[in-house]
Structure 1
Amino acid sequence: MNNNQMCFCTSRDKKIFWGFLFTLVELLVTIAIIAILASMLLPSLKTAKDTCKKISCQGKLKQWAEAVHMYCDDWNGYFPNSDFWPTTLEEYTGATNNLYPHRAKYNKMRLCPSAQILDDSVSTTDSQYGHYAVNSNFTGDRVKLVWTVKMNMITSPSEKIFMADGNNAFFDWLVMDRYEARHANGANNMWVDGHVNWTKKIDVTAALLGIPGHARGGM
């Protein structure tokens, strides 16, 4: 190989090398930009996803509110009993006791999209488990011999919680240790007057609402 050939090959190799190097640098820069954008966007996407779940949960509580008010209209103003409220309200949610496909749809109303399913039986047709809890001071408690009350007996119904996010799939009575703040350190609440909103957990522990710390209590 003469000197001219050697110079020609070396020049070509240099061009290939520098071309590859520039391509590699461009690729690395692109990857770095994508990584930076992802780190900026992912938290926003998670926040947006969590917000959608919170809104979906509120929609379910609004359906429960309609069912509760229709039940009270049919039963002389009385709230459903705390031991049987899921099945008692079933017919007011578009489901019936004997139509299992409807009951499967009804069971989904008991599940908050932000909560974990605590028990496999939550998906069965006869399960009364769910992610929401009711205020047993209004729906009664056989242990404390507290009976259901009439809706019109509740003073300041817009300030009293009837149902809210709960964290126990077996006991569905609403007490402080079962009140679950799973939506941005707060919970969705359905109030006696039927309106639904999100509240920070610290706000609903106020003495005004009277949430006790003992088991099977209410507000």
Structure 2
Amino acid sequence: MKTCRRFTLIELLVVIAIIAILASMLLPALNQARGKAKTMQCVNNFKDAALAMSLYLNDNREMFPRYNVTAANDNMVWAARLARGGYFKTGRAMVCPGEPQVLTNGTGMAAAMQQDIDKQNFFNGSAGTSFYYVAFGYNYSYLGEAARDKSGAIISKPISVNLSRVRKPGRVILYTDNRDHSINRSIYFVVPKQGTTSNQGFVWSWHGGPVTTAWVDGHVTTPRVNNANPYVSDPFRNGCADEPDNYFSIWQ
């Protein structure tokens, strides 16, 4: 007569302990792989966004778009302007896979942007506001609204920037990952240093260290920072400083 052997409680606990140990060893590797996959997707998005800006410049006398315009009949942020021109094709291409994807009203960010694109909601206001939270923090203080001249002096009336003003496109930041701390997601511009009166647009890593960064010449890098103060790391450490080490400045 056959007997059915059952696990004892001790044997069952040993098996559970072994599974827990294996899980603790594998989970960090899985999380790291997931983070690398998100970084790769983000890099691809940034490359596409850099290409979108290049195409926009070709069609607009090489003039960079103002980061935000509030004039009558022309009030829109730069990302909405590029989306309206067809340079950004889908909402999904404008979000970072590593950051929160849901707005406070429960709408998915990519879906909200796609809805605004489909409905042609590009102007600032109750409609079109999803473009405020695009993944690409634009170098607004130099490219999107240059407020300093070659010497570093403040210009009373911000100038529109032509690509020809950018001396070294491979050394000037176009976009970078950033965070608006009040809503815990990206915003459409990046500030060149911490310590401003706003908590918006600080350089930020959504990928566990790497910060996706697109440069004016179109190449993309992923420098590593500590989110406690990303501005102590290159290429962000000299924001608003004098040349030649300020990678935000058009006068490089």
Q: TM-score range by the shorter chain?
A: 0.7 to 0.9
Structure 2 unaligned residues grouped into runs of 5+:
69-76, 117-127, 148-154, 195-201, 226-232, 239-244
Match in the other structure for 1:3: none
In structure 2, the CA distance between the partners of 1:119 and 1:61, relative to structure 1 (3 Å rule), is farther
Match in the other structure for 1:64: 49
Deviations 1:89-140 (A, max 9, x none): 1134354xxxxxxxxxx33233211112454475251222223210111111
In structure 2, the CA distance between the partners of 1:170 and 1:116, relative to structure 1 (3 Å rule), is closer
Do the aligned residues in 1 keep the contact of 2:138 with 2:188 (CA within 8 Å)? yes
Secondary structure of the corresponding residue to residue 37 of structure 2: helix
In structure 2, the CA distance between the partners of 1:210 and 1:144, relative to structure 1 (3 Å rule), is farther
Residue 44 of structure 1 and its aligned partner are, at CA, apart by 0.5
- The 10-residue stretch of structure 1 (48-57 or 124-133) with the greater mean CA deviation from structure 2: 124-133
Match in the other structure for 2:87: 93
How many residue pairs match? The answer is 188
Comparing both structures, which one devotes a greater share of its residues to helix? 1
Do the aligned residues in 1 keep the contact of 2:213 with 2:221 (CA within 8 Å)? yes
Deviations 1:178-215 (A, max 9, x none): 21122222310010100111012311223212559xxx
Structure 1 unaligned residues grouped into runs of 5+:
1-11, 96-105, 213-218
2:62 to 51, 58, 77: 77
In structure 2, the CA distance between the partners of 1:28 and 1:144, relative to structure 1 (3 Å rule), is farther
Residue correspondence of structure 1 range 3-82 to structure 2 within 5 A: 19-20=5-6, 23-82=8-67
Length-normalised TM-score, structure 2: 0.64
CA distance in 2, matches of 1:38, 1:65: 40
1:183 to 190, 197, 207: 207
Length-normalised TM-score, structure 1: 0.73
2:99 to 106, 109, 115: 115
Do the aligned residues in 1 keep the contact of 2:177 with 2:186 (CA within 8 Å)? no
Match in the other structure for 1:132: 136
